[in-house]
Amino acid sequence: MNEIRNTATNLMDKQLGRNPVSETYGQPVQDPSGATMKAVVFDGSRNVKIDEVPKPTITHPKDVIVKTTACTICSGSDSHMFSGEIPGRNKGSVLGHESCGIVVERGSEVKDLFVGERVVIAFDIACGSCSFCKRREFTGCDTTNDTKLMDVNYGAHHSAIFGYTKMLGDVPGCQAEYIRVPFGDVNCYKLPEDIPDIKGLYMSDVLCTSLHACELGSVQKGNTVAIWGMGPIGLFAGRWAQILGAKRVIGIEVIPDRIKIARNRFGFEVIDRNEVKDIPKKILELIPDGPDVAIDATGFRFTTTMLQKIERAVGLETDSADVIFECFQSVRKYGHVALIADYVGTSNQFPVGHIMMKHLTVRSGQCPCQNYFDRVVKAIRSGEIDPEWMITNKVKFDDLPDAYEKLFYKQDGYLKVFCQM
Ligand SMILES: NC(=O)c1ccc[n+]([C@@H]2O[C@H](COP(=O)([O-])OP(=O)(O)OC[C@H]3O[C@@H](n4cnc5c(N)ncnc54)[C@H](O)[C@@H]3O)[C@@H](O)[C@H]2O)c1
Ligand SMILES: [Zn+2]
Ligand SMILES: [Zn+2]
């Protein structure tokens, strides 16, 4: 099924071609010297490997080239890629969207970045000057993702994202020795000297995205917040909720190691799905009106009911609505639901009536990291946020393929890795 979807996506992409922006923006080109570098590449469903690929070079005057000093694997989104379930990923394409490094080359129109500066790179790629970027809606950037495929599927296109699929711009990722960052001034954030790589790296996604989850859910002082999924995103969404003044954070998770971390390191109340079958019933026993905010930090792949398992298996839907149902069923009337988890396609049994009958506000979307960098740095400096709470494994670059497997199959306690180059 995945192979068929992938082939169909590739064919459609070829037929539809590119939006006109590609003429000015340009696709990546190889360093003229013919130099190569090591990178983690997609090698088909549930396979990644280290390979020699062309070293990138400046393609557009607003590009910078960053030499990677540290990178990591996104436990959620890179696992979706690894699964092979997201169509439009060619074998050999470079993965990764969480890294930091040193600027080694700058295009002629780059204003604020200079060779030798340390930067963290936002996972989303924005131009800074289209109408969406001007409103700071960076993940809606109209310039950086030039595929027409997304316009056909969604009626508009998302910004590009590093190391993702054709639908998200097909831009080479950062699990590599070097990365070309389009619109460097917009998408790189200068790391202050007192923020080492082991902390700053995680600003590229997790620390900003988890704060975005709380913003989408409008978490307020005194709120009760329930979060499905105690992966890196769910854990830090809970931590931000505490910082924003939530009086109770309740996590829902199935993996014992993660339940332990959520309870002991983050101090959340956690419902263990291995022990509790009916999650909304349990939540409503704990909070009779229901939590003020429900955050879904799981993902489109996770099912709990036989119906959704079957529908996904036979291709009747791409995305499970199981966790969404539990969020809607549990949250209080007039409550807020934040879908920070990745959803990509269509879902049957989506409980649309709950939104009307319980007067819910439901928000979702990819995080515009650029909006959160300053707040995250402040919280790291004050010690309120410590990304090291989630690092379970320090790995060498050559061990990244193995770490992909561990994260995908949720083995050996892997939660978040740190790879210093
Ligand atoms: N919106 C954004 O900008 C953005 C950015 C980064 C990641 N994401 C997405 O956020 C999600 C979380 O990311 P992550 O890195 O923490 O991923 P992860 O896969 O490590 O964590 C998801 C967790 O959910 C748990 N889970 C699965 N089914 C469950 C269920 N029915 N009830 C409770 N828990 C369940 C899993 O055991 C796992 O621990 C992913 O879907 C990821 O793709 C979104
Ligand atoms: Zn990520
Ligand atoms: Zn833009």
- Which of 137, 233, 255, 412 has most ligand 1 atoms within 8 Å of CB, for mutation? 233
The response to whether residue 350 sits with its C-beta less than 6 Å from ligand 1 reads no
Ligand 2 mean position to 77 CA, how many Å? 5
The response to whether residue 93 sits with its C-beta less than 6 Å from ligand 1 reads no
| H/E element, 184 | helix 184-187
> Which residues are placed with Cβ below 5 angstroms of ligand 3, an ion?
126-127, 130, 133, 141, 143
**Cβ-Cβ contacts under 8 Å for 285 (sequence gap 6 or more):** none
- Give residue 26's pLDDT: 46
The response to whether residue 187 sits with its C-beta less than 6 Å from ligand 1 reads no
Q: Alpha-carbon distance 228 to 251, whole Å?
A: 6
- Give residue 270's pLDDT: 98
* H, E, C per residue of 135-175: CCCHHHCCCCCCECHHHHHHCCCCCEEECCCHHHCCECCCC
Q: Alpha-carbon distance 396 to 393, whole Å?
A: 10
The response to whether residue 97 sits with its C-beta less than 6 Å from ligand 1 reads no
- Which of 97, 270, 298 has most ligand 1 atoms within 8 Å of CB, for mutation? 298
3.90.1150.10, 3.40.50.620, 1.50.40.10, 3.40.50.720: which CATH number matches 210-364?
A: 3.40.50.720
The response to whether residue 258 sits with its C-beta less than 6 Å from ligand 1 reads yes
Q: Alpha-carbon distance 48 to 30, whole Å?
A: 22
Ligand 2 mean position to 81 CA, how many Å? 11
Ligand 2 mean position to 366 CA, how many Å? 10
232-243 vs 256-264: helix crossing angle, rounded to 10: 20
Give the nearest ligand 1 atom to 340 CA: 1
- Give residue 79's pLDDT: 83
* Sheet containing 248-253, strands listed edge to edge, beginning at the edge strand earlier in sequence: 269-272, 248-253, 224-228, 293-296, 336-339, 361-364
Superfamily of domain 2-205+368-420: Medium-chain alcohol dehydrogenases, catalytic domain (3.90.180.10)
Ligand 2 mean position to 122 CA, how many Å? 10
Domain limits, CATH 3.40.50.720, in the chain:
210-364
- Which of 141, 165, 302 has most ligand 1 atoms within 8 Å of CB, for mutation? 302
The response to whether residue 77 sits with its C-beta less than 6 Å from ligand 1 reads yes
Three-state DSSP at 395 gives: coil
Which bound ligand lies closest to the C-alpha atom of 142? Answer: 3
Three-state DSSP at 85 gives: coil
In the chain (421 residues long), the average pLDDT of successive 10-residue segments reads 56 57 49 87 91 92 96 87 77 93 97 98 96 97 87 90 87 95 97 97 98 98 98 97 98 96 96 97 98 96 91 90 97 98 92 98 98 98 95 96 92 93 93
> Positive or negative, the Cα torsion across 275, 279, 285, 290?
positive
**Would you state the structure tokens that stand for residue 329, as one six-digit string?**
């069923």
The response to whether residue 238 sits with its C-beta less than 6 Å from ligand 1 reads no
Which bound ligand lies closest to the C-alpha atom of 164? Answer: 2
Q: How far, CA to CA in Å, does 32 sit from each of 24, 28, 57?
A: 20, 12, 8
- Which of 72, 73, 74, 77 has most ligand 1 atoms within 8 Å of CB, for mutation? 77
Domain limits, CATH 3.90.180.10, in the chain:
2-205+368-420
206-216 vs 373-382: helix crossing angle, rounded to 10: 110
Q: Alpha-carbon distance 77 to 42, whole Å?
A: 14
Q: Alpha-carbon distance 241 to 397, whole Å?
A: 33
The response to whether residue 228 sits with its C-beta less than 6 Å from ligand 1 reads yes
Among protein residues, the one whose CA lies closest to atom 35 of ligand 1: 229
